[in-house]
Chains A and B, each alone.
Chain A
């Protein structure tokens, strides 16, 4: 009976996600860049990338109990890998203006020569997968020494490695590959995603990053609900008991770390796509803290919480509180107070309030569907408690 119920739940979830994707697709068409609602699309694009990053960090921090602060480093790797392998061949020498570009492979163009439009799509997908794979590989290498550490020590070590990665990518000697401290540009970005169907052109610039996030988060959710996910949670709850149950700690920690790095790399690729630029300087530890904040705000150990946390964070900082910087907020025009930087002051206060009143984040460790289920179950639970209490 439980299985049937779960199937119903999964089906309802799928329907909700498909509806959401359809709405995004429609919004993508009807909102023009000049509209006042254009911000909504921008927020959706950025929030979907951050949501993926937050969920992948949550897989590590919330579900496996590994407190890692190296996320920005893995996103950087993903962003660069994606950018390098999708730069337009004709633009490559312009982008690498001070160096002689070493990698001259561009997946979308390469595959487009053989497969046409489909090749471009496959090329982009290939570059995204490669971005994740390179990040995961590096995650594995870093994980070998670092995963022996516990709690705060692990956080410090991963933080250090992330900074090392950033420094290496800015290193002039690696310029032919990374373009030194100069940004990578002219690669495939979200504006180029269009679908031409019988004369009408559909814009996919918001749909694609949202779809990317939805697919990746779905994979992470499947992993969390598998027996591996259960082992991760057991490690989080009690390492000694988990080990006594026959869970190989080193192997499972490494699996969680590499998976998290993989999706951080994919999120980095998404970030490059959305921003249209990949520069090591953007991936400072401040980015990791932002993502960690989203995870904490949403609820450590809740996937939907991370998504909500990321969306609210991006919407607030990029859209709703913008007015605080530019003079007019909620119809109040006070250019002396509402000027550059004031937004961050208000934002910090809002975060403090949220953290004070939602100690365990917005969702705690519950998922969104749990909230609906719980309401129905409460009376029967109370009865069960009475007969034993």
Chain B
């Protein structure tokens, strides 16, 4: 579904991503794992159009989307749940969700109900301002907000960041459910254990290069991965 070829990205004066190529097959959960500064976030931000690549091509299905503006890319069906949640704190939960569907002109009723069925907690809090939610609820809102654009591909940047282990478990269970309902997922994580457990395909990114790939299970049992990321 998504194909990255020879992507190079310069970010803040350094080459953060050095010639990586990978694919995200339709309806799969694909994860990129790696340490801090490996270039994971930069990769996602480049796909989302927030950063321009120095070289390489990004294809969504057959279409070349390299260098398109973020709003065009969202309307093509790719959405990003940014790192650290970044909900709009002074707006209500419902307003946050509405902004997620900003580029759509059709009725939102069905999608709101879908998001509310995935996250019943958000429905209870729909009139509360997002800044008053707990960390886990804010992450749910960030995911719900992304889903409101009715994406084909949802990219998630460190959804487990700063959340309690139990909440992280919930979030991953929901990611799995969303995937089962037909949304392809590209996930980047430092919490390699959780990510590899739900991933169909996984890649290891080290200082801007892809060093390993395989199914989630394969990488879980890989000695090098175990040593470096699973402790």
A interface list, Cβ under 8 A from B: 227, 230-231, 233-234, 237-238, 240-248, 301, 365, 384, 388
**With A230-B98, A230-B102, A384-B124: A244-B79 Cβ-Cβ less than 8 Å:** yes
B88 close to chain A: CB less than 8 A: yes
Establish whether residues A243 and B70, one from each chain, have CB atoms under 8 Å apart when the complex forms: yes
Establish whether residues A245 and B50, one from each chain, have CB atoms under 8 Å apart when the complex forms: no
Within 8 A of A (CB), among B50-80: 50, 69-71, 73-75, 79-80
Contacts of B50 in A (CB 8 A): 240, 243-244
- The CB with the most chain A CB atoms within 10 A, among B71, B124, B149, is that of B71
Within 8 A of A (CB), among B72-92: 73-75, 79-80, 82, 86-91
Determine which of A231, A365, A388 lies in contact with B102 in the assembled complex, contact meaning CB atoms within 8 Å: A231
CA distance A233 to B89 in the complex (A): 10
**With A227-B102, A230-B99, A231-B102: A247-B91 Cβ-Cβ less than 8 Å:** no
Determine which of B80, B91, B98, B124 lies in contact with A244 in the assembled complex, contact meaning CB atoms within 8 Å: B80
Contacts of A238 in B (CB 8 A): 86-88
CA distance A301 to B71 in the complex (A): 26
Contacts of B91 in A (CB 8 A): 230, 233-234, 237
CA distance A242 to B74 in the complex (A): 11
Minimal beta-carbon separation of B99 from chain A (angstroms): 5
CA distance A16 to B87 in the complex (A): 36
Contacts of B90 in A (CB 8 A): 233, 237, 301, 365
B111 close to chain A: CB less than 8 A: no
Establish whether residues A241 and B88, one from each chain, have CB atoms under 8 Å apart when the complex forms: yes
Residue of A nearest to B88 (CB): A237
18 example contacts (A-B, Cβ-Cβ < 8 A) are as follows A230-B99, A233-B91, A234-B88, A237-B89, A240-B82, A241-B82, A241-B87, A241-B88, A244-B50, A244-B86, A245-B74, A245-B99, A246-B74, A246-B79, A246-B102, A247-B71, A248-B69, A384-B124
- The CB with the most chain B CB atoms within 10 A, among A240, A245, A365, is that of A245
B40 close to chain A: CB less than 8 A: no
B145 close to chain A: CB less than 8 A: yes
Minimal beta-carbon separation of A62 from chain B (angstroms): 11
Minimal beta-carbon separation of B115 from chain A (angstroms): 14
Within 8 A of A (CB), among B105-153: 124, 145-146, 149
